[in-house]
Structure 1
Amino acid sequence: MRYRSDHFVAHGSLRDIVVLDADIEDWQQMLSSLASSFWEVFLSVDFPGEPQETPVDARRLFEELESNSDASARLEIRVDGVSFRCYFFQSDEIEFTFDPIEVQDETSFQAVVQFMTWLGDLCGKRVIMTMETAEHAAIPALLDYVPTSVGRVMALLRMGVGERGWV
C-alpha cells in the first residue's frame, strides 16, 4: 500500500477500518489475540451489576449489548501514535474508527497498514478503509487488504473512481 495524503485530509470525517462479513469467531479471535499484542490496548466492558470478565467472551459480550441498553464496551488499540477505536456496534462487522489527522506522512501511514494487515491476517478476511459511514459496503474503499489463501498478502489501493491499482 502507498501513502496518499488525500485519503487522510481532516475535514471533520473520521476513517473506518472494517472487516465485512465478520462472525462471532472472528471477534473472539481478535479479542483473544489482544493479550499477546505488543501494542497499547485499552478495553472497557461495563455490564451494570456484573463483574467484568477477562478475557472477554465475544458471544456473551454481544448478547449483553443487545439485551441491556445500559451495557457498553469500548476497545482502543494504539499503533505507533494512531488510535483505532471499536465500539462493538454489530457482530457481523468488525469496525474500528480513527482520526485521519493522526496520519500525516508515510511513517504514520505504516501504522494503518500494520493494523489492517494484522486484522486481515488474524481473521483471514478482507479489510477495507473507508470514510466514516454506516454503509461500508456501499461506498468505495480507500484502502483494501486481502490475505491470500497461500499466506501471501495482496495490498490493493483505490487509485480513483473505478480504478484499482496493484502495489
Structure 2
Amino acid sequence: MAYAMLEPKFIENGSCMNWEQIASDFAWDGSWRDIYVLNTSEADWQGVWDILLEWTPPASFSVSGKIESMPLGIEAALKSETGSLLSFYVGPIQLACHFFSAVEIEFDFDPRQVSGGTEIEQLDRFMRLLGDATGKQVILTQENDQEAIIARYSLDLESVVWTALS
C-alpha cells in the first residue's frame, strides 16, 4: 500500500512529536493498546473492510478459530455470534479486530511491537487511512479506555495529534 509524504506529527502543545516523548505510552504494562473509530455505521465498516480486502500482506479472517476467506461484505463478520477475528500487519505490528460492536471499529495490538519512530509512522499512516475512509476521528488509546488517548486523527487538521500521557 503506497502512502503520500506525511506532514510532521505534533504533540498537543504544538511541538513536533519524537519517540522519546511517547515511548512510555508503549511500555509493556500487561495491557494492549486500542485503535478506535467511534460512532460508526455499517457503511463505515464496509469502507474499512474494502481497504483490508486489498491489504498486503493479506489479512487473515477466522470464525470460531477456523480460517476462512474474507467475505466481500462486512455483514457476515458483524453478525457472527461465533466469534469472528480479523488479523493483519501494519509493518511489524499485528493488529486484530474482534467485531465487538457495529457502532465502533476497534483494533488492538501488543505495544511491545512498537519500538521506535518507524512503527509510530506506520500507526500514524494507518490511523489516517481509517479517518479518510470513514470521515471520522480515530483514536489510539490504552486498552479499553477511550479517555486515555495516546493519539488521535483530527479531521480538521488532517493530521494525527500525539498526546504524551506520561
Tell me the TM-score normalised to structure 2 length.
Answer: 0.78
Q: Is the 8 A contact 2:128 2:159 kept in 1?
A: no
Matched, 1:156 2:164: no
Structure 1: gaps of 5 or more residues: 66-70, 162-167
Deviations 1:14-33 (A, max 9, x none): 10000011111111111122
Q: Distance in 1 between matches of 2:163 and 2:65?
A: 40
Aligned match of 1:59: 75
**Structure 2 contact 127–160 (Cα < 8 Å) conserved:** no
**Preserved contact between residue 19 and residue 126 of structure 1 (Cα < 8 Å):** yes
For residues 46-85 of structure 1, the aligned pairs below 5 Å read 46=64, 54-65=70-81, 71-85=82-96
Cα distance per residue 1:107-141 (max 9 Å; x no partner): 121121121111111111100011001x52xx131
Partners in 2 of 1:126 and 1:8 — Cα distance?
A: 21
Task: State the shift of 1:103 in Å.
Answer: 0.4
2:151 to 135, 143, 149: 143
Length, aligned pairs only: 147
Alignment-mate amino acid for residue 155 of structure 2? P
1:32-61 residue CA offsets vs partner (Å, 9 max, x unmatched): 22222234411123599xxx6753422343
The equivalent position to 2:61 in structure 1, one of 43, 65, 77, is: 43
How is 1:1-167 mapped onto 2 (pairs within 5 angstroms)?
A: 1=9, 2=17, 3=19, 4-46=22-64, 54-65=70-81, 71-133=82-144, 135-136=145-146, 139-148=147-156, 153-159=158-164
Q: Could you say what the CA RMSD is over the residues aligned between the two structures, in angstroms?
A: 2.3
Three-state SS of the structure 2 residue aligned to 1:145 is strand
The structure that has the greater radius of gyration is 1
The TM-score normalised by the length of structure 1 is 0.77
Deviation at 1:104, TM superposition (A): 0.7
Output the CA distance in 2 between the equivalents of 1:92 and 1:60. Answer: 15
Deviation at 1:77, TM superposition (A): 1.7
Unaligned runs of 5+ in 2: 1-8, 10-16
- Choose 106-115 or 15-24, whichever is displaced more: 106-115
CA–CA distance in structure 1, aligned partners of residues 132 and 102 of structure 2: 19
Q: Distance in 2 between matches of 1:108 and 1:78?
A: 11
Partner AA of 2:97 in structure 1: C
- SS of the residue aligned with 1:140? strand
